Amino acid sequence: MEYVYAALLLHKLKKEVNEANISSVVKASGAEVNDAQVKAMVAALADINIEDAIKAAPVAVAAAAPAAEPAGEAKKEEKPKDDGKTEEAAMEGLSSLFG
């Protein structure tokens, strides 16, 4: 996962997404660099337009959450509805994201 974050960070900073840069970012984060995974990430991104992939990705629910309520105005939490989806169905949907 750290390799994906490194690639996204480099893209955001308009830096080249290559093995050396990804390795530097991962190393700077304090994680151990696995050269095989770095090479695999660069190869996987070779034919991908990262900007288009970001636009096509589903938006995280947390990003749409309203700002925190000011102190003293706490809102009662609502429990999510049980819409009958099973864990298996949720995992099936998740696996479709990874081809």
Sorted by where each begins, the domain ranges of the chain are 1-62
Contacts of 42 (CB under 8 A, 6+ apart): 17, 18, 19, 22
Condensed to tens digits (0 to 9), the pLDDT of residues 7-65 reads 999 999 999 999 999 999 999 999 999 999 999 999 999 988 988 888 888 875 555 55
CATH fold of 1-62 reads Arc Repressor Mutant, subunit A (1.10.10)
Q: What is the pTM of this model?
A: 0.56
User: Measured between alpha carbons, how far is 31 from 98 in angstroms, rounded to an integer?
Assistant: 24
Mean pLDDT of 64-70: 57
Give 78's pLDDT tier (boundaries 50, 70, 90). low
